[in-house]
Structure 1
Amino acid sequence: MTGSNIRRSMPLFPIGPVMQLTELTARQIRYYEEHQLISPARTDGNRRMFSLNDIDTLLEVKDLIDQGVNMAGIKHLFALKNQETNPILKAEKTERELSNDDVRRLLRKEIVQAGRFNLPTSNPGNMNRFFH
């Protein structure tokens, strides 16, 4: 881990400032923790302490929710992201693997097309489970 990564991983922020920075409620933040999207550190008094990486993740989750992606879709995107950063899983990739940007672009396209034509997505068996 580089010095920058270590600093970004340091648990520095209690939940109050995180709520202000992300415009999320404490309940939303706890909900995302329950779904293991973030893992804040705990103090001896059991208070959550968040890192810059946790805040980035919360902002990313918030953006995805705003785009209409539900929790199952978010977990799927995060799993893909973890595959890209895990060297063991990276070696097992197939020839044509989509990047996170490709997946996001496809999800946005599906949302726009579904809204534009007032129809279900073009691949309902595959994509509908990711949207509200």
Structure 2
Amino acid sequence: MDLESRKQLPLFSIGIVEKLTGLSARQIRYYEQHELVKPARSAGNQRLFSFVDVERLIQVSALLDEGLNMEGVKARMKRLVANETQDKKQSEPTDQQVFERMRQEMLEHPGGSGSSEFQGDLFRFYRKR
């Protein structure tokens, strides 16, 4: 399981989230009502928050402290989520890009000579013909 998946795991009850964020249960439910956070639900219908949810609640609280109203917070959070999504897409290469870069590296350094980002003996699969 990668770090991003772990951050999404619903682990915390509302009581724990209150302590982590300094918000009251009423505030947390209010932000949920405004769809600023969407906690998972247990079989008993208990709210379960992830690290991402806690982080988002802290951001919401900070924006409200700056003087933004609820509509301003919603707009800002929407932009933040969109920017994070776009940054993630741009920063992480696709499998095909990694494969092609590795292939080029191995063709440029046959026999593993020189320092390579992809050191090892996979070069034998990409010999120049």
Interval of TM-score (by shorter of Structure 1 and Structure 2): 0.5 to 0.7
Displacement of 1:86: 4.4
Cα deviation code 1:70-98 (max 9, x no counterpart): 111111111212332445xx9xxxxxxxx
Greater relative CO (CA pairs within 8 A, separation 6+):
1
RMSD between superposed Cα atoms in Å: 1.8
Give 1:5's aligned residue. Answer: 4
Match of 1:15 in 2: 14
3-state SS of the aligned residue for 1:36? coil
- Name the CA distance, whole Å, in 2 between partners of 1:3 and 1:11: 15
Looking at structure 1, the residues matched to 85 and 54 of structure 2 have their Cα atoms a distance apart, in angstroms, of: 21
Structure 1 unmatched runs, 5+: 91-132
Sequence identity, in percent? 45
Q: Deviations over 1:82-115 (max 9, x none)?
A: 332445xx9xxxxxxxxxxxxxxxxxxxxxxxxx
Q: 2-side partners of 1:55 and 1:29: how far apart? A: 10
Which one-letter code corresponds to 1:29 in the other structure?
I
- What does 1:114-129 correspond to in 2, within 5 Å? none
For 1:85 and 1:66, locate their aligned partners in 2 and report how far apart those are by CA, in whole Å.
22
TM-score of the pair, normalised by structure 1: 0.62
Tell me the residue number matched to 1:60: 59
Report the AA paired with residue 41 of structure 2. Answer: R
Partner in structure 2 of residue 24 of structure 1: 23
Rg comparison, structure with higher value: 2
Structure 2: which 5+ residue stretches go unaligned? 90-129
Write the letter of the residue equivalent to 1:52.
F
